[in-house]
Amino acid sequence: MFNKVFILKTLLFSMVLIYLVCCPYTKVEESFNIQAIHDILYHGTDVTEYDHLTFPGVVPRTFIGPLFVSLLSSPIVKFSSIFENNKFLTQYIVRLLIGCLVLSGLFKFSRSLKKVFGLDVVVHFLLITCSQFHFLFYASRPLANIFAMILALPALASWLKQDIGKFIWLAAFSAILFRFELCAIFAVCLLISLVRKHTSLLYVFVHALPAGIIALGFSVMVDSVFWQRYLWPEGDVMWFNVILNKSSNWGTSPFYWYFTSTLPKALLLSCVFIPWGFRCDPYRCAILLLPAIIFVLLFSILPHKELRFIVYTFPLFNAVAARGYADLKLRFRKSFFWKVGYILALSSILVNFAASFLFLKASVNNYPGGEIMSLLHKRVPCVTDAQPVHVHISNYAAQTGVTRFQEACPLWRYNKTEHLKRDDLRLNPDVTHVIADYVESDVIMWEATHVPIAETSAFSGVSLRFETVFVSIPVPYFKMKPALTVWQRREFPLNQDSSE
């Protein structure tokens, strides 16, 4: 049984690594943290060179997560520079470190499940998590939600083990530093512990008050230095998203969206076994389900919804589903009926893996900005006797993968200035290269002064097409659309690659 757990933990790490290697770039939601990690590693205490002072984003974010990851990764980054001075390699390193921190929390949570439910549930919990795409795909991503997850999972593990003091401290730092809405899920956990008489109000108060004050003071102290003004970032975020409800500017979804779309997509077929797990062990499973369901219900009230907002609940739902799988395994020898039931349960995990492969295939084509920057550096040499290289990066490119880790050429100028018109860039002789959004009607205008040297496409949906092997069967087809083009000024000397 130990070997099974070890193998599954190794598989979990391998899945995180595969997702990272296949999709090394980042999206706009991750841009602040990934740029902050870059700036801490490469600019140190020279805050004036930091990206956030020029591009602060809609709301300020804490530097504590990026600072922690930078400090942990800096020895590895310095060691790796001996072999290859490639800044983008550093992005792999820091993202892998984030993934390892999340997995460490997940393994602590699984060990707490062992004490509550036993080894069979742990084995199925790890297997289910391996087969699902979104949790492991997000695990290495520098999102505020993932930094919160690094502390939230050990907090939930401590709660299950009834170590309420440790739970309160981890919960306070997770919520106050990274995602304040986690107070909702942690409050339900505390209420359950109070009802079950595993703690008292006095004990909660004795730990919660200093934990909250220290976490808040730590955030204000660190972030005021980096933002160069007195600030509690997560307070600003909550004011913007919850009180002012301005997050709806980025789209809205109906109240039921998390239950009808997000959870089925994230949990896949394993969600079918949640009711069975609850039926087998209603008391202990209710303890896991209550915080998760109440948290999702509360978040359903907000009109703007994203999968990452409720990612903390996935391990709780999976734990209940794992209880259902373990029960079917226990009944396996009783009759043919239960043998078929457990075989179907295991088959659902295979279906999960197949669905995860399709999700990955779609995601690989979701980062045209990162791909176009990589192609640009292949087409244009870093050291050239020609005029200095000045690259303008469109907003869409910056939102779909471009980071400062890709600024591989020290002599180049990388420019992300927003709201510049096409002709301002096209007619400016100092701008040698433009990463522009693909607009079919603009191509003729660009070709008058520039030549295209690289293009990328982006995922635009899934359709079915019928292919005949022995019979005609529907096969998923991933539709692509032109996304970005690198336009090089005609006067700029073409190198061998760009002339192909």
**What is the spatial distance between Cα 208 and Cα 204, in angstroms, rounded to a whole number?**
6
Q: Write out pLDDT tens, residues 378-400.
A: 999 887 555 689 999 999 999 99
Residues 480-489, mean pLDDT to the nearest whole number: 93
- Percent of the chain having pLDDT more than 90? 74
The pLDDT of residue 476 is: 74
The pLDDT of residue 402 is: 94
pTM of the model: 0.93
**What is the spatial distance between Cα 370 and Cα 88, in angstroms, rounded to a whole number?**
11
- Percent of the chain having pLDDT more than 70? 95
Q: Check pLDDT > 80 for residue 54.
A: yes
The pLDDT of residue 498 is: 40
What count of residues does the chain have?
A: 500
Strand partners, 472: 468
Q: Write out pLDDT tens, residues 185-211.
A: 999 999 999 999 999 999 999 999 999
- DSSP readout, 361-391? HHHHTS-HHHHHHHHHHHHS-SS-SSSPPEE
Return the closest-CA partner of residue 148 out of 233, 205, 221.
233
Return the closest-CA partner of residue 322 out of 287, 356, 283, 272.
272
The pLDDT of residue 247 is: 76
Give the Cβ contact number of residue 236 at 10 Å: 16
Q: Which residue has the higher pLDDT, 388 or 24?
A: 24
Q: Check pLDDT > 70 for residue 84.
A: no
Q: Write out pLDDT tens, residues 415-466.
A: 998 888 888 899 898 899 999 999 988 999 999 999 999 999 998 888 777 7
Residues 496-500, mean pLDDT to the nearest whole number: 41
Q: Check pLDDT > 90 for residue 286.
A: yes
Q: Which residue has the higher pLDDT, 429 or 149?
A: 149
**Summary mean pLDDT of the chain:** 91
The pLDDT of residue 385 is: 57
Residues 230-248, mean pLDDT to the nearest whole number: 84
Q: Are 433 and 487 in contact (CB under 8 A)?
A: yes
Return the closest-CA partner of residue 421 out of 411, 431, 406.
431
Query: What's the pLDDT band for 499 if we cut at 50, 70, 90?
Result: very low
